[in-house]
Chains A and B, each alone.
Chain A
Amino acid sequence: EIVMTQSPATLSVSPGERVTLSCRAGQSLSSSYLAWYQQKPGQAPRLLIYDASTRATGLPARFSGSGSGTEFTLTISSLQSEDFAVYYCQQYNNWPRTFGQGTKVEVK
Chain B
Amino acid sequence: VQLVQSGVEVKKPGASVKVSCKASGYTFSNHYMHWVRQAPGQGPEWMGTINPRGGITRHAQKFQGRLTMTRDTSTTTVYMELISLRSEDTAVYFCARDRSGSGLDAFDIWGQGTMVTVSS
Contact = CB atoms under 8 A, between A and B. Distances in A.
B110 A46 contact: yes
Most chain A beta carbons < 10 A, residue from B42, B43, B46, B107: B43
The secondary structure that dominates the A interface is loop
B94 A44 contact: yes
B55 interface: no
Interface residues of A, number: 21
B113 A102 contact: no
Interface stretch (A14-22, A73-81, A92-100): A92-100
A99 B107 CA distance: 12
Contacts of B60: 96
Interface in B2-57: 34, 42-46
B55 to A, nearest CB: 18
A50 B46 contact: no
B61 interface: yes
A90 interface: yes
A102 B43 contact: yes
Contacts of B43: 88, 99-102
A33 B104 contact: yes
Interface in A61-106: 88, 90, 92, 95-102
B45 A47 contact: no
A44 B46 contact: no
23 contacts: A33-B104, A33-B106, A37-B44, A44-B111, A45-B96, A45-B107, A47-B99, A47-B107, A47-B108, A50-B99, A50-B105, A51-B106, A56-B108, A90-B107, A92-B105, A92-B106, A95-B58, A96-B61, A97-B46, A99-B44, A99-B45, A100-B43, A101-B43
